Every structure is written in structure tokens, then in C-alpha cells.
């Protein structure tokens, strides 16, 4: 039953997309099946360009049944968040396995599918909400029971015409930069993952194995501006990513680019203030607690600069960045309509100008007041392959109380609205919404607010 309403609509559009945009984009105007399959297999610089993206039928059905009919035909990513997800779907209401999604993509006439590989050993070392199923040492199991079976499915010739856009292991490598060693933000779990090398090896293996498949486009996670935007983190992250991309048989040719802001809330662009602003003769970098010496105030400027840094670190010059805009819209009544006054303090100026209404940039769980961001768009800005909805809107980031589950997920107090924080959010309130289910499960109240506070608004 899941497939009825928009499947038909999508199929009609897709026939057109396949007949025109895709083949022309591939530079082939010949007729006939042979021509179309060789055109389809050609590797492109930006897999979003001219593509018809797969609409995740699990998510779409849920969204449509939850008051989200207006957005239910937007493409969102398929999350492979544990071994079982390969066959029988990810957490919560998701029931389709990888083959089901690929087959559904073919039926939709889609020629691109977004997925997230998210199951490293010792996953989520600086938080508890998305702790996974593999222990810190289970790298062999990660390779043979997670990445290899995924590779087997993706290399089925039946799917050769689908561009597979693969976001690789979110949060993992950035955690090894900021949450280790003598830093105040360090956790023992991240120290273990740095010492045993299993994040780096796992990412390298995933890039190498999946990157061998002609139609796979790998994007490595780079956190977001409120994490990697400081000088101490920026260059070292690019170097660590390069190390991972040249490990376990991977090369930089296995990397199509980077993924920013995945499942986070950073604004794509802050329209009313800029990093170059000063208040009372002092840069806001120094004067504002919100900025606090960061080099960037939004995801677009961060992503474009990171791309350059990565190229200097040894990545190919044609890499691009995907920015997750599923929940970074920040519309609604709290959204400023213009720059604040500069006659007070830098804090007053920035706090009244910023559209990102979080209490602190380090807050990440089910943020109260957030809205849907830009609808998915290909090539929205130089260096940016797409604005994409990687985190499916409506799926929780973590439970606001302890909830028993068999998915390995813990209770992170950053998801508890009464929590007063830790060094990673400089001891601010969490800003999380109450009554949330475990991560990946449907959170109706958040979904409704995301639609309500969407920016651009949902018509
Ligand atoms: C969860 C996953 C889920 C994903 C997408 C993550 O936070 O840990 O289980 O698939 O979000 O909602």
C-alpha cells in the first residue's frame, strides 16, 4: 500500500527525466537501449546534476500520513544504520532493505539514490543517542558483515544506471579531532577509537570497497561549521580525511566530495550578519560568545572553504560538498527580519541578527524551534553539489528519557530538555524538545514544528 499516490506521479516525471535530462547530461544523443545504458553508466562530476533522485518510500509514506503531504515527494536518504538494515530496513518505521529501495528507485524511474553508511565500530563516541551495534574492536565484522554485503548489492548490474550517493559515516572522523586527548571535550570512547584506528580503517575500507563500483559516489562527513569551523579543527580534519582516504586501499579517486551539516541544524546562510562584522571597533569573532573565534557563521561559507582546504590536503580539485538542509530553515516567529543594532554589545548584535535560534552552536538533539530548510536542489552554489535532505525530517535524534531498545542506542542527556550541558556545548541548556523517541524513530511533534517553521515556507 505504501506506494500508491506519488509513485504514479513520480513515474510520469521520471520517464521524461530519463529521456531528456539524463542522456543529454551524459552527452549522448543517440537512440536505442545500448546508447542509453552506456550513457547512464558514464561517471559524472556532480551526481545530483540532471538527476532524478529516489523518493524514499518508507519515509514518504510516513510523512504523507503525518500531515506532510506537501513535502512527501522530496527525496531523503536511506540510512544503513546497522547490519539488519541492509535486509530489513533501518530504525523505527522503516521496513525496506537496500534492495527494496533500489528496486523501488528503478520503478520510480529515478537515476540517483542517496544513502548513508553509518555503522562503524564504537559508533558515536562522543554521545550516546546513536551508539551502534558494533563494539570498538569489531572492525572485521564491519568489513565482512556490513560493507561487503552492501557492495555486493550495489554491484548488481541491474542497478548500474543508478548513481549511488553515499554519505560515509557521519560524525566519526570529526570526533577524532575534537573529542580526544587533552581537550576538555574529550571522551574516553573517542580516545579508544583514535588509538585503535578503527574509524580511519573503517572509513578507508568503505571508500575503497564501495568506490570500486563505477556508479558509487562517496561523500565523507565533515561535521558542520559549529564543530570544524575553528582553526584548530579545520586543517587537521582535512588532513585526517585524506589519511582515511588513502588507507585500506582507498585513493582520493574514491571520493566525490564531502557532506556537511548532516542531521545538524546550522543555517545554510546567515543573511543578516557576517564574520567580517565588528561592534564597537572589535570583531564579532572576539566580541560574540555565539561566534567565539570561529571563522564561519554558516554552512555555505564553511563548506566552500573546507572544499578548498581539502584540495590543498590532496583531494581532487573536482570534489563538491553536499549540505544537509533538512532541518536548518529556522523560520517561524523567532526569525529575525533584518540585522540587529550595533549600538549595544557584540552579543546583542549577533543574537538579534542570527536566524539560527539555538541556545548554543554545540546543541544537536531535536532542537526546539527548528524548521525545514531549503528544498533539495542540485548545484545551488559554487563548489556545492547539492542542498539535500540527508536526515529524514521527523526522525528523532535521540530520546529525551531513557527508553529500552534493541538497537544499541543509549540515552544522551543532550536530548533531555532539562539538561544543563557539558563542555561540548559549554554547559548550556540542551535546547531539545521533550517527549522524543529513540533516534531514528518517528517524532510527530518535531515533524509538525519543522513544517510550521519551514524556511522557505511550505505552501
Ligand atoms: C539514528 C539512525 C537513523 C538516523 C536517521 C540516527 O540518529 O541513529 O538510527 O537511521 O538517525 O534518522
What is the C-alpha to C-alpha distance for residues 191 and 116, in angstroms, rounded to an integer?
Answer: 24
Strand partners, 117: 80, 168
Average pLDDT, the chain: 92
* CB distance 417 to 430 below 8 Å: yes
- As a whole number, mean pLDDT of residues 428-454 equals 98
Domain 4-452 has CATH 3.20.20.40: yes
Alpha helices in 148-266 (DSSP H): 148-154, 172-178, 188-196, 198-211, 225-228, 231-244
Alpha helices in 124-197 (DSSP H): 139-141, 148-154, 172-178, 188-196
Binding site as annotated, residues for substrate: 79, 81, 224, 227, 264, 364, 391, 395
Ligand 1: residue whose CA is nearest its atom 2? 440
Flag whether pLDDT at 38 surpasses 60: no
What is the C-alpha to C-alpha distance for residues 451 and 454, in angstroms, rounded to an integer?
Answer: 5
Ligand 1: residue whose CA is nearest its atom 5? 440
DSSP at 457: P
Between 407 and 283, residue with greater pLDDT: 283
Active site residue 140: no
Q: Is 399 in the pocket of ligand 1 (CB under 6 A)?
A: no
Task: Give the contacts of 240 (CB within 8 A, at least 6 positions apart).
Answer: 173, 176, 177, 200
What is the C-alpha to C-alpha distance for residues 254 and 216, in angstroms, rounded to an integer?
Answer: 9
pLDDT confidence of residue 41: 59
pLDDT tens-digit map of 282-340: 999 999 999 999 999 999 999 999 999 999 999 999 999 999 999 999 999 999 999 99
Q: Is 90 in the pocket of ligand 1 (CB under 6 A)?
A: yes
Flag whether pLDDT at 380 surpasses 80: yes
Active site residue 239: no
Q: Report the separation in Å between the CA atom of 12 and the middle of ligand 1, taken as the mean of its atom positions.
A: 31
- As a whole number, mean pLDDT of residues 248-274 equals 98
pLDDT confidence of residue 89: 87
Q: Whole-model pTM above 0.85? A: yes
Active site residue 124: yes
The x, y and z cell numbers of residue 106, run together, are 528503478
Q: Which position among 161, 324, 397, 416 bears the catalytic label?
A: 397
Q: Is 394 in the pocket of ligand 1 (CB under 6 A)?
A: no
Q: Report the separation in Å between the CA atom of 259 and the middle of ligand 1, taken as the mean of its atom positions.
A: 16
- As a whole number, mean pLDDT of residues 192-220 equals 98
DSSP at 60: H
Ligand 1: residue whose CA is nearest its atom 11? 440
Flag whether pLDDT at 436 surpasses 50: yes
Flag whether pLDDT at 141 surpasses 60: yes
Q: Are strands 78-80 and 163-168 parallel, antiparallel or unpaired?
A: unpaired
pLDDT band with cut points at 50, 70 and 90 for residue 459 = confident
What is the C-alpha to C-alpha distance for residues 371 and 114, in angstroms, rounded to an integer?
Answer: 22
What is the C-alpha to C-alpha distance for residues 226 and 255, in angstroms, rounded to an integer?
Answer: 24
Ligand 1: residue whose CA is nearest its atom 12? 440
Binding site as annotated, residues: 79, 81, 224, 227, 264, 364, 391, 395
Q: What is the domain partition of the chain in residue ranges? A: 4-452
For residue 340, what are the CA distances in angstroms to 181, 221, 280, 332, 346? 39, 33, 14, 17, 10
pLDDT confidence of residue 410: 94
The x, y and z cell numbers of residue 382, run together, are 559554487
Flag whether pLDDT at 129 surpasses 60: yes
Amino acid at each position: 500500500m505504501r506506494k500508491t499516490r506519488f509513485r504514479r506521479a513520480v513515474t510520469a516525471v521520471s520517464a521524461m527525466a530519463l529521456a531528456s535530462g539524463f542522456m543529454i547530461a551524459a552527452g549522448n544523443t543517440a537512440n536505442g537501449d545500448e546508447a542509453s545504458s552506456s550513457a547512464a553508466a558514464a561517471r559524472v562530476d556532480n551526481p545530483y546534476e540532471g538527476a532524478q533522485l529516489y523518493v524514499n518510500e518508507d519515509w514518504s509514506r510516513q510523512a504523507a500520513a503525518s500531515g506532510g503531504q506537501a513535502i512527501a515527494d522530496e527525496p531523503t536518504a536511506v540510512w544503513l544504520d546497522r547490519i539488519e538494515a541492509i535486509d530489513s530496513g533501518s530504525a523505527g518505521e522503516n521496513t525496506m532493505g537496500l534492495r527494496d529501495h533500489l528496486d523501488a528507485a528503478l520503478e520510480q524511474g529515478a537515476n540517483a539514490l542517496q544513502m548513508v553508511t553509518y555503522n562503524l565500530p564504537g559508533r558515536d563516541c562522543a554521545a550516546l543517542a546513536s551508539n551502534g551495534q558494533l563494539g570498538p574492536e569489531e572492525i572485521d565484522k564491519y568489513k565482512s558483515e556490513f560493507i561487503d554485503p552492501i557492495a555486493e548489492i550495489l554491484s548488481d548490474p541491474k542497478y548500474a544506471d543508478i548513481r549511488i550517493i553515499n554519505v560515509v559515516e557521519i560524525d566519526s572522523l570529526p570526533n577524532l579531532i575534537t573529542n580526544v586527548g587533552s581537550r576538555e571535550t574529550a571522551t574516553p570512547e573517542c580516545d579508544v577509537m583514535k588509538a585503535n584506528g578503527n574509524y580511519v580503517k573503517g572509513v578507508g575500507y568503505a571508500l575503497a570497497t564501495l568506490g570500486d563500483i563505477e556508479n558509487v559516489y562517496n561523500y565523507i562527513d565533515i561535521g558542520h561549521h559549529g564543530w570544524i569551523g575553528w582553526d584548530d579543527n579545520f586543517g587537521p580534519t582535512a588532513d585526517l580525511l585524506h589519511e582515511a582516504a588513502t588507507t585500506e586501499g582507498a585513493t582520493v579517486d574514491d571520493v566525490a566530495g564531502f557532506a556537511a551539516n548532516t542531521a545538524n541544524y546550522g543555517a545554510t546562510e546567515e543573511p543578516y550578519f557576517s564574520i567580517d562584522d565588528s561592534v564597537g571597533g572589535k570583531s564579532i569573532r572576539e566580541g560574540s560568545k555565539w561566534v567565539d573565534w570561529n571563522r564561519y557563521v554558516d554552512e555555505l561559507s564553511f563548506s566552500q572553504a573546507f572544499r578548498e582546504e581539502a584540495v590543498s590536503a590532496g583531494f581532487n580539485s573536482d570534489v563538491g560538498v553536499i549540505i544537509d538542509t533538512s532541518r536548518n530553515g529556522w523560520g517561524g516567529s523567532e526569525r529575525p527580519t533584518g540585522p540587529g543594532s550595533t549600538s549595544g554589545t557584540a552579543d546583542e548584535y549577533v543574537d538579534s541578527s542570527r536566524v539560527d535560534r539555538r541556545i548554543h552552536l554545540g546543541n544537536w538533539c531535536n532542537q526546539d524551534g527548528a524548521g525545514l530548510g531549503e528544498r533539495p536542489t542540485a548545484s545551488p552554489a559554487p563548489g556545492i553539489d547539492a542542498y539535500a535532505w540527508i536526515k529524514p525530517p521527523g526522525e528523532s535524534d535521540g530520546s529525551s528519557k531513557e527508553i529500552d531498545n534493541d538497537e544499541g542506542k543509549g540515552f544522551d542527556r543532550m536530548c533531555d530538555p532539562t539538561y544543563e550541558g557539558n563542555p561540548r556545548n559549554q554547559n548550556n541548556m540542551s535546547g531539545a524538545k521533550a517527549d522524543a523517541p529513540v533516534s531514528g524513530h518517528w517524532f510527530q511533534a518535531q515533524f509538525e514544528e519543522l513544517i510550521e517553521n519551514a524556511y522557505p515556507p511550505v505552501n
